[in-house]
């Protein structure tokens, strides 16, 4: 569609084969398997790949065949697993509705189910030996100028990508600072008269990062 000019921009999980299309790195997206918190499967610490042949799976449909979900499922089939796919849907909400009713396990990007997971409605299911993270790319024609609206949208995508990277860097710095302060906290605990001053100093330091 990009080559034909039907689309100006696309976000894909693969670098296009055509030399006429340019791809720039966007963000890494994490696919998660999840179940209702009261589903018996949610009580298991980890599932095996063979469990996916028995438990009904609810996944996104994708006509291009290039989505992370499609790539993961296709790789499992190549390994000889006969997956029990109960439903394919373009609607994340339809998948979440099925999972809420304890009909099986859903597969969606983490950002799509983050709020429900944080509320405790869903639980992420760990699957041994399954990699479910993929790099995405912003793709556009390298010889066809973008329209003003497409150009603005590209600018927004880049801003969102850069903001996400910056946020991750800040969080990593905070984690490193806190980790480095653990021995200091322990020493302060042993020297209790100085404990309150150390805590005040650490809070100011973390806030400034």
Reported as a single tens digit per residue, the pLDDT across 128-143 is 988 888 888 999 999 8
Question: How many Å apart are CA 48 and CA 86, to the nearest integer?
Answer: 18
Q: Are 107 and 58 in contact (CB under 8 A)?
A: yes
pLDDT at 104 (0 to 100): 96
pLDDT at 134 (0 to 100): 80
Per-residue pLDDT of the chain in tens (209 residues, 90 and over written 9): 888 888 898 888 788 888 999 999 988 888 999 999 999 999 998 999 999 999 999 998 865 556 788 888 888 999 999 999 999 998 999 999 999 999 999 999 998 999 999 999 999 999 998 888 888 899 999 989 999 999 999 999 999 888 877 766 655 555 545 444 445 444 544 555 554 554 455 544 444 44
> Which residues neighbour 87 within 8 Å (Cβ) at sequence distance 6 or greater?
56, 58, 59, 94, 95, 98
pLDDT at 169 (0 to 100): 62
Question: What is the model's pTM?
Answer: 0.66
pLDDT at 129 (0 to 100): 87
Reported as a single tens digit per residue, the pLDDT across 87-130 is 999 899 999 999 999 999 999 999 899 999 999 999 999 999 88
- SS3 (DSSP) at 174: helix
N residues, the chain: 209
């Amino acid at each position: 569609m990009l080559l034909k000019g039907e689309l100006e921009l696309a976000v894909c999980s693969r670098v296009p084969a055509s030399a006429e299309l340019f791809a720039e790195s966007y963000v890494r997206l994490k696919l998660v398997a999840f179940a209702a918190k009261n589903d018996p499967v949610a009580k298991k610490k980890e599932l095996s790949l063979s469990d996916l042949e028995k438990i009904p799976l609810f996944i996104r449909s994708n006509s291009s065949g290039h989505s992370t979900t499609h790539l993961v499922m296709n790789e499992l089939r190549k390994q000889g697993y006969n997956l029990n796919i109960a439903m394919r849907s373009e609607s994340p909400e339809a998948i979440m509705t099925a999972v809420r009713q304890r009909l099986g396990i859903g597969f969606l990007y983490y950002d799509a189910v983050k709020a429900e997971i944080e509320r405790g409605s869903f639980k992420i299911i760990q699957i041994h030996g399954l990699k479910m993270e993929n790099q995405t790319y912003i793709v556009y024609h390298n010889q066809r100028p973008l329209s003003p609206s497409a150009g603005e949208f590209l600018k927004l995508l880049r801003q969102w990508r850069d903001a996400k990277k910056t946020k991750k860097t800040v969080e990593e710095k905070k984690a490193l600072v806190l980790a480095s302060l653990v021995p200091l906290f322990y020493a302060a605990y042993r020297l209790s008269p100085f404990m309150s001053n150390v805590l005040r100093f650490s809070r100011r330091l973390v806030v400034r990062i």
